[in-house]
């Protein structure tokens, strides 16, 4: 399993160009999935800042990219049960940031369609977070229209990455494209 912390989807016909443009930021690798690359960068926060600046200077680059999703929590899994346990554990680390806020979970899965139905896994994590927030006395709420935060889950085969994004970050980094 290749070690990555960024998942990139590419617009049709731009695979090689995007790979060349992003190669300066870290080690990039083709996956077995159509128009999907994975990348290893040293600092995900610095990477999305650099990419935002690059995109502001040269907006054409962002038209070549479908999505770029840096992940701050990463784990590997062998089956559905392991995925759910590790995803729940990682998501619950963000409970303090979700306290009293609106949010939802969004999952983008590559592979394992039958084993990890995206909507089912999103609902499982939504419920786990709502229960933890309620238990902590800081209830949150699910909001799909204008949430304060979105918890993103990315999978490529049996490796997952997660990140939490504020409304402001979603506006600042147009390449995230979560919903």
pTM exceeds 0.95: no
| Nearest residue to 7 (alpha-carbon basis) of 65, 89, 94 | 65
Which helix (DSSP H) or strand (DSSP E) does residue 164 occupy? strand 159-166
Minimum mean pLDDT range among 109-113, 138-142, 155-159, 162-166: 109-113
Task: With beta carbons less than 8 A apart as the criterion, state whether 144 and 99 touch.
Answer: no
What pLDDT shows up at residue 43? 93
Q: What is the pLDDT of residue 37?
A: 93
Q: In terms of Cα–Cα distance, which of 101, 83, 105 is closest to 148? A: 101
Residue 37: its H or E element: strand 36-40
Mapped onto helix, strand or coil, the DSSP state of residue 4 is coil
Question: Using CA atoms, how far apart are residues 173 and 49, in angstroms rounded to an integer?
Answer: 8
The CATH number of 73-171 is which of 3.30.365.10, 3.40.50.720, 1.10.3980.10, 3.30.2130.30? Answer: 3.30.2130.30
pLDDT in the model for residue 112 = 81
Give the ranges where the chain is alpha helix by DSSP (H): 15-22, 44-57, 60-64, 80-92, 95-98, 118-135, 167-172
Most confident segment among 42-51, 85-94, 113-122, 164-173: 85-94
Please write the tens of the pLDDT for every residue from 77-120. Answer: 999 999 999 999 999 999 999 999 999 999 999 988 777 788 99
Q: What is the pLDDT of residues 127-151, one digit of tens each?
A: 999 999 999 999 999 999 999 999 9
Domain parsing of the chain, residue ranges? 6-70, 73-171
Q: Identify how many contiguous H helices and E strands the chain contains and give both numbers.
A: 7, 9
Residue 141 DSSP one-character state: E
pLDDT, position 1: 58
DSSP state of 167: H
User: Taking a C-beta distance cutoff of 8 angstroms, is the pair 138, 148 a contact?
Assistant: no
Residue 150 near residue 170 (C-beta atoms within 8 A): yes
């Amino acid at each position: 399993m290749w070690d990555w912390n960024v998942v990139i989807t590419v617009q049709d016909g731009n695979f090689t160009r995007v790979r060349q443009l992003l190669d300066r930021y870290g080690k990039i690798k083709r996956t077995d999935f159509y128009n999907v690359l994975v990348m290893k960068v040293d600092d995900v926060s610095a990477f999305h800042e650099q990419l935002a600046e690059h995109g502001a200077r040269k907006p054409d680059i962002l038209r070549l990219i479908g999505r770029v999703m840096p992940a701050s929590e990463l784990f590997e899994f062998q089956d559905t049960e392991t995925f759910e346990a590790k995803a729940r554990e990682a998501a619950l680390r963000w409970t303090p940031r979700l306290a009293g806020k609106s949010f939802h979970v969004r999952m983008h899965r590559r592979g394992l369609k039958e084993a990890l139905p995206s909507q089912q896994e999103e609902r499982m994590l939504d419920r786990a977070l709502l229960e933890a927030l309620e238990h902590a006395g800081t209830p949150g709420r699910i909001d799909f229209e204008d949430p304060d935060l979105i918890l993103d889950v990315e999978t490529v085969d049996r490796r997952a990455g997660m990140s939490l994004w504020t409304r402001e970050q979603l506006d600042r980094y147009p390449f995230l494209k979560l919903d």
